[in-house]
Structure 1
Amino acid sequence: MLKLQIPKNRMNYLIERMQHDFELAVLEQGWEYYHKGRVSNIELLHGVEIHSLVGGSRSYEVVLDMDRFEKSECGCSHEGCCKHMAATLFTLYASFARPELLLQHLKQTIMVKNRQQQSRTGASKPEKKAERLEAPKPSQPPSVWQRFFDQQFYGYSLSQQHSIELFYSTSQESLLPLAASWDQTLRGLYDLHVLLFAMRKIEQFYSETKTSYMSYYIETGCKTTAKQCMEQLAKQLPGADMGQLAKRHAGALDETLTMLGDIALSGKESPLDWLMAYRSIWSLLADYPERIDKEKKRLRLLLSKTSLLPRRRDALLVALAHFDVMDGHDDKARAMLEELSKREARDSFLYLHRCYERQQWDRMLAWLRWMLPVMQRAQQEELRTFCTYWMEAVSRQPDDGEWVDVMIALLPRTYYFYTSYLLKAGRFKSWVDLQIANRVSPIDLYTLDLKTVEEHNPSLLLPLYHQAVERCIAEKNRNAYKMAIKLLKKLHAYYKKLDRENTWEEYIYRLATRYARLRALQEELRKGKWIP
């Protein structure tokens, strides 16, 4: 990106003109042009004029006057301050700080200025007064509750790293008590809507701050709070009385399902697993086939459209396959999921958990086997979940051959799961072989694990220590030689415990002879009294 350093007072003057002379939409377009690197040949002429070329449908020459900004001009057809001028200004600002930070500042300043102008004219007051909602009531539809929630947190500011967590706790504390006196059944639905509101806002914060200077912190906070929301949803749903809701508040339930479906089936990128929420709620409605049939028809109709984006099509396929799982047709569901443009491990975790709850081990294994091909590219947390469920399933099988094959196939990512299992199963030789194959030093292993193998058979550890000694010597530096001596002391203790002193003497003699030219190693061996 080309940069031209101008005096700070000149830059401050230009920023002031950006606040007063540019429309917000134009500034955003200008930032996009800057971000895509469309500004070139930027230079200072006559001491006060900035000249640049900005690419668009064609290149336009921009001239910015730093003394009298009203004399600035651009070769495009736009009247007044244009996006090409804004792009040049953002390029100038890049030598001072991050232009996206300036864009955020300008947005806030312009929005505040607009609100102040509206307040002075009084144009917005009657409208706001008319739209202001009272606290939610049991007789109102859920859409009105959601509008009230939005009003209560209108303009919520993400001013620091923990703003998302603060928003979540505040929304729960302030909104949940409003339905404290309601009928228990309807209150459960209201509580669900408070949670869905928090989830909506978290997604909004996530998408709106991607270009912000705080994007990393906001994204981290969104993902952390999203996980809290999903955990809270898993706690709330088992207590929901769907039977009573369907009988007494059918309209509110249908509106809830429609709202959730619109969000979950959009295919938008989100830190929240909306499809998990969608499927979890529909799972509670298994006793209402008419509702399910209606939803399946809607999904098929949406899938029949040819202009679907891949992410939206995938969301619809996952949703439709879920109803096959509810009917016990897992093979049919998996066949449908094979059509996904991108299979994700997390899409099947709901079914693993249900199989675990119902102790359907064979059914769980069928899902685990089907998931195996996608686990190599799964996130580490997803892999951990996968391995945990497989360990539960294999403990109910006559042998663990398949489990071991899976762990080996997924190495090195399954190293910790596999080593833990080998120790628990008493397969100590396989455990040692795995450490040797992965060139793991005993120094990097847990002392308790080494002690467990030692108590069973110390001779199994000999090749592990021999390899570690050779690797230390191969580094050819004093610190590595000292580490080799430390390992040799432990190795000697094992030989002594096994009553194989003669083998040890022969080994240390050959080691010293083979590396006779390494003077520093010879010195360390003499210090350890291994050689004369």
Structure 2
Amino acid sequence: MASLDDKLHTALEHSLGQHLNEEIIRRGWDYYRSGQVLNVKQADEDTLYGAVQGSDVYSVLLDSDHFRYSKCTCPFNDYCKHMAAVYFAYCHSLDGESAAKAAYDRITGVDRKQQRSTVTVSVPKFSGRHVQPSDDASPEEWGLWMDAEYGETWRSCRHSLHALQPVLSALKGTTKHWDKKSQRLHWMSVILFVLDQAEQAIKTVDTFSRYYHEMSFLRMAEPWVEHYYTLALELEPAEVTGHNRSWVDYVAGYAKGRAVKNEQQLFDWTYIYLAICERMAVDADWYEHELDAMRKEELRDSEEPVNRTFVHTAAAMLCFFGRNDEEALAHFGKTDFQRSQKVIYPCVAQRLEEGDWELIGHWMSFLYDHISKVKNARTIGPFMTLCRRADTDQPDEPRWTRYMVELLPHSYADLSDHWLAVQKYEEWADLQLLIGMKPDDLGIQNVREVSKAAPSVMIPLYHQSIEEAIHSRNRQGYRLAVKELKKLERLYKADKHADKWERYIEGIASKYQRLRAFQEELWKGKIVT
């Protein structure tokens, strides 16, 4: 088994410590210690899969690179103890119980330290050295004033962004008397200024500590970013005229100027920029001007490195807003798919809502062509959601199922759930046979549902499980085989094929007549007399 490198181990431990409270981590540790982790596998360089026995058998996926994609099939519907248990079991599989214990100590130690920590910062105050612009001053004048008055605040943010909170409050307070429409745009520019300060602060952090500082900074800035998006959603393009139009252009230009930089950045400036574009795209004049500017940006030569993925992503989204899907796909084709994919999925979801199947076909084909080249949990999960929706809405189109099948084994969990949901029990059972799943691994409720609705499709699964148990050549395996045989007998009778059951059990008893211990278990279980 390949080993996750130290950076990704650190990332996963930190994410578990951030998203799981100490009680859930402790319960995950208890699950691991009691042997309830049935298996754990590494799918690729940053993804773990596992199965945990709780009140049912739950499937767990852990993504160390983007933890938000991690999931568990348990009813908790959040980051849970099963995730922690799988990680501890994985550590054990690499270096034994001591490695798992060390990981547990580190995770809980970090968590306690964070709960106890207090931060003391020096808060920059309004110096009064620079004259505040008038209410009718241009947004550029306001931007220059903010930079002159508070542009060095990032130097106080070496370990925390707490120094920026009073700056944000002070700058918002300068326009409390403005009307709501103007105030909204000013506040958006203020938030971008503060986020820009955070970007400068993170550059001072050494490489070794950057990951932890990024998590801390992002958590602190999350309400600011959410407020920005809320303000953007409140924009009414028809009301953005005159002076306010210049503010919209300023805010969009600020975000675009940050996003176009080809450097590692703390915030997703592409989304920040597109939040303005999505609202303003209904204004034909603004839309055409912005699209033309982005096309010129694509052709512009610059001495500084330019983030071409952003340029083409922004141009693609502007084309999408204008319902020019063909040009949008052409631009997306020039991007780094790993970076632009999260913008593409909502586009396809919107077309699915609209039911334009010709366009949906083009988008889905584009996604499949890119995803099939780089298969991992982050890309396949969202794509499978789209495939399931498409197959539900258009069940007579075979390509949706074909996409899902061709992405196996990565698509197994989603495809299995989908076929259960649409009651394609035969296809569901064939999938379990292909993957090599045992009935006990499939969840009690799922097995009951299929056994009741289509008992015949479960019979081959039990055949496979019974043969595997017998081939273990030990008493425990024989007992398991007898237990499965009793369930199989009920299936044959439910399917009204008692005669086939008699022939099958006679064949099993004859085939393994030399296995004395197995014959004894058959007799004890009253399978044979």
TM-score, normalised with respect to structure 2: 0.64
Pair 1:155-2:156 in alignment? yes
Provide Cα deviations, 1:445-466, integer angstroms capped at 9, x if missing partner: 1222222212222121110111
Pair 1:182-2:182 in alignment? no
Query: 1:498/1:197 Cα in 2 relative to 1: closer, same or farther (>3 Å)?
Result: same
Provide Cα deviations, 1:271-292, integer angstroms capped at 9, x if missing partner: 5432233233123223544444
Tell me the equivalent position of 1:483: 480
Query: 1:203/1:128 Cα in 2 relative to 1: closer, same or farther (>3 Å)?
Result: closer
Tell me the equivalent position of 1:196: 192
Larger Rg, first or second structure (1 or 2): 1
| Contact preservation (8 Å) 1:203, 1:270 | yes
C-alpha deviation, 1:405, in angstroms: 1.1
C-alpha deviation, 1:490, in angstroms: 1.4
Query: 1:302/1:525 Cα in 2 relative to 1: closer, same or farther (>3 Å)?
Result: same
Which has the higher mean CA deviation after the structures are superposed, 314-323 or 444-453?
Answer: 314-323
| Contact preservation (8 Å) 2:391, 2:397 | yes
Q: Separation in 2 of the partners of 1:295 and 1:460?
A: 57
Provide Cα deviations, 1:379-419, integer angstroms capped at 9, x if missing partner: 53443333333433444436242211111122222222222
Tell me the equivalent position of 2:309: 314
Tell me the equivalent position of 2:272: 277
C-alpha deviation, 1:188, in angstroms: 1.9
Tell me the equivalent position of 2:371: 375
Structure showing greater relative contact order (alpha-carbon pairs closer than 8 Å, 6 or more residues apart): 2
Pair 1:143-2:143 in alignment? yes
Provide Cα deviations, 1:281-319, integer angstroms capped at 9, x if missing partner: 123223544444444444344433566888722222222
Pair 1:256-2:256 in alignment? no
Taking every aligned residue pair, what percent have the same amino acid on both sides? 24
- Segments of structure 2 that go 5 or more residues without pairing to the other structure are 1-120
Tell me the equivalent position of 2:238: 243
Which has the higher mean CA deviation after the structures are superposed, 476-485 or 422-431?
Answer: 476-485
Pair 1:446-2:443 in alignment? yes
Q: Separation in 2 of the partners of 1:355 and 1:137?
A: 43
Q: Separation in 2 of the partners of 1:176 and 1:354?
A: 35
Given candidates 430, 433, 443, the residue that maps to 1:436 is 433
Tell me the equivalent position of 2:318: 323
Tell me the equivalent position of 2:403: 406
Tell me the equivalent position of 1:384: 381
Q: Separation in 1 of the partners of 2:305 and 2:144?
A: 33
Provide Cα deviations, 1:405-450, integer angstroms capped at 9, x if missing partner: 1111222222222222212222111111111111111111122222
| Contact preservation (8 Å) 1:149, 1:197 | no
Tell me the equivalent position of 1:71: none
C-alpha deviation, 1:373, in angstroms: 1.4
| Contact preservation (8 Å) 1:428, 1:453 | yes
Query: 1:134/1:310 Cα in 2 relative to 1: closer, same or farther (>3 Å)?
Result: closer
Give the secondary-structure state (helix, strand or coil) at the position aligned to 2:323: coil
TM-score, normalised with respect to structure 1: 0.63
> After superposition, where does 1:42-441 map in structure 2 within 5 Å?
129=127, 131=129, 141=139, 142-143=142-143, 147=147, 155-158=156-159, 179-197=175-193, 199-200=195-196, 203-204=199-200, 207-209=203-205, 211-213=207-209, 215-221=210-216, 234-270=229-265, 272-305=267-300, 312-340=307-335, 342=337, 344-355=340-351, 358=354, 360-376=356-372, 377=374, 380-397=377-394, 399-441=396-438
| Contact preservation (8 Å) 1:361, 1:396 | no
Q: Separation in 2 of the partners of 1:474 and 1:167?
A: 66
Q: Separation in 2 of the partners of 1:223 and 1:415?
A: 33
Give the secondary-structure state (helix, strand or coil) at the position aligned to 1:406: helix
| Contact preservation (8 Å) 1:432, 1:461 | yes
Provide Cα deviations, 1:253-275, integer angstroms capped at 9, x if missing partner: 22212111111122333454322
Q: Separation in 2 of the partners of 1:501 and 1:223?
A: 63
Query: 1:310/1:130 Cα in 2 relative to 1: closer, same or farther (>3 Å)?
Result: closer
Provide Cα deviations, 1:105-132, integer angstroms capped at 9, x if missing partner: xxxxxxx9xx9xxxxxxxxx9x994657
C-alpha deviation, 1:242, in angstroms: 3.2
Q: Separation in 1 of the partners of 2:163 and 2:526?
A: 66
Tell me the equivalent position of 2:110: none
Provide Cα deviations, 1:302-353, integer angstroms capped at 9, x if missing partner: 4335668887222222222333333322112222332335564223134234
Tell me the equivalent position of 2:87: none
Give the secondary-structure state (helix, strand or coil) at the position aligned to 2:156: coil
Number of paired residues?
A: 403
Letter in 2 for 1:506: R
